[in-house]
Amino acid sequence: MVAGIHRNAQAIVDLGAIKQNVELEMNRLAKGQELFAVVKADAYGHGMLEVAKTAKEAGATGFCVAIIDEGLALREAGFDDLVLILGVNPADQACLMAQNDLSVAVGDLEFLQTAAPLLAQKSLKLKVHLAFDTGMGRIGFTNEADVKAAEQFIAEHQEQFVFEGIFTHFACADTQDMSYYQVQITKFNQLKKALTRLPKYVHVANSAAAMWHQDCGGNAIRYGITMYGLNPSGRELTLPVAIKPAFSLESELVLVRKLAKGSGIGYGKTYTLDEDAYIGTVPLGYADGWLRRMQGFKVLIEGQYCPIVGRICMDQFMVKLPKAFKKGTKVTLIGQNGDKTITAQDAADYARTIHYEILCNISQRVPRIYHK
């Protein structure tokens, strides 16, 4: 997607906030623990390479991504740290991953059996992390027999595989009810006991577990949404540390007009003025990730909340103004404006979703501007 560098609309990423958030967590780690920065999905919309550089400066010793191409992008940018692909990968790409020193999540024996002869043919070794499905129902081994079979297969094919890690992912580490978390950690420990030896890395803590379940163990954590300054539980649990949001979204008023009572606004005429009013147009829309369901939400202009009226268009939306602001006046969708703030959590609450989705939706048409 072409970035819109000739319009006034941008996401501002505070790299200083990301560095501060990582440093805070580094100070909370147990002795010997490492921090892997989760930079998948373009670092949750913040920009993968810039965030990875900042996280490394702050102490991260590895990175987690979701797909092969994200791992390749880190390698091409010169990162030589551990890069773990957390998603399911086709076995026929095993050689590509090995050639680029990418570690890979493995959740079934079939992957190992298919990849082994391909790796042997090119005399390559692939670093693998066995995924344990303890209750997410997504990927991973679910019983001791299969874990033992995978470990045995790796042991029998040491010329093709390096047994580098084991991990799981929690479904409810960010909730007040800890019962399912306890079920998962118990299951993980059971599956772990099926191994004859532990690999170099045992990582169970995501951001939520790192915040509220430091007793879950492991010698590495996968630090995701909290690195970006957001609470993984939304509003349910209070964070034990004061992290700082790193993402702001800003644009401007490109048109301001006074329209008469009875005027319809936007597609479908879903909003009709009940009085004469000033209407401003903002050059952002659902193609930029500010989705149609944000109709009726608010933005900040000169420290005042202004409602979004009418449907969000593909490239623009309209707001009702308290007065005739000048064209070019800054519009804040996420972030601080005057003495008021709109957070990604506020936007998520309105959209009945999570702040992860709000940030990941902001498309590459919106340039990222980096501040340190």
Domain residue limits, the chain: 32-228, 247-371
Query: Is 138 labelled as part of a ligand binding site?
Result: yes
Select which of 40, 127, 192, 298 is catalytic: 40
267 is catalytic: yes
Q: What is the arithmetic mean of pLDDT over 14-18?
A: 98
Q: What is the arithmetic mean of pLDDT over 260-285?
A: 97
3-state SS record for the chain = CCCCCCCCCEEEEEHHHHHHHHHHHHCCCCCCCEEEEECHHHHHCCCHHHHHHHHHHHCCCEEEECCHHHHHHHHHCCCCCEEEECCCCCHHHHHHHHHCCCEEEECCHHHHHHHHHHHHHCCCCEEEEEEECCCCCCCCECCHHHHHHHHHHHHHCCCCEEEEEEECCCCCCCCCCCHHHHHHHHHHHHHHHCCCCCCCEEEEECHHHHHHCHHHCCCEEEECHHHHCCCCCCCCCCCCCCCCCCEEEEEECCEEEEECCCCEECHHHCEECCCCEEEEEECCCHHHCCCHHHCCCEEEECCEEEEEECCCCCCCEEEEECCCCCCCCEEEEEEEECCEEECHHHHHHHHCCCHHHHHHHCCCCCCEEEEC
Query: Is 314 labelled as part of a ligand binding site?
Result: yes
The per-residue pLDDT for range 48-85, each reduced to its tens digit, is 999 999 999 999 999 999 999 999 999 999 999 999 99
320 is catalytic: no
Select which of 122, 258, 267, 372 is catalytic: 267
The per-residue pLDDT for range 306-319, each reduced to its tens digit, is 999 999 999 999 99
The per-residue pLDDT for range 206-255, each reduced to its tens digit, is 999 999 998 889 999 999 999 999 999 999 999 999 999 999 999 999 99
pLDDT at 342 over 90: yes
pLDDT at 345: 98
Domain 32-228 fold: TIM Barrel (3.20.20)
Average pLDDT, the chain: 97
Q: What is the arithmetic mean of pLDDT over 98-123?
A: 98
pLDDT at 214: 87
pLDDT at 142: 97
pLDDT at 1: 86
Superfamily assignment of 247-371 in CATH? Lyase, Ornithine Decarboxylase; Chain A, domain 1 (2.40.37.10)
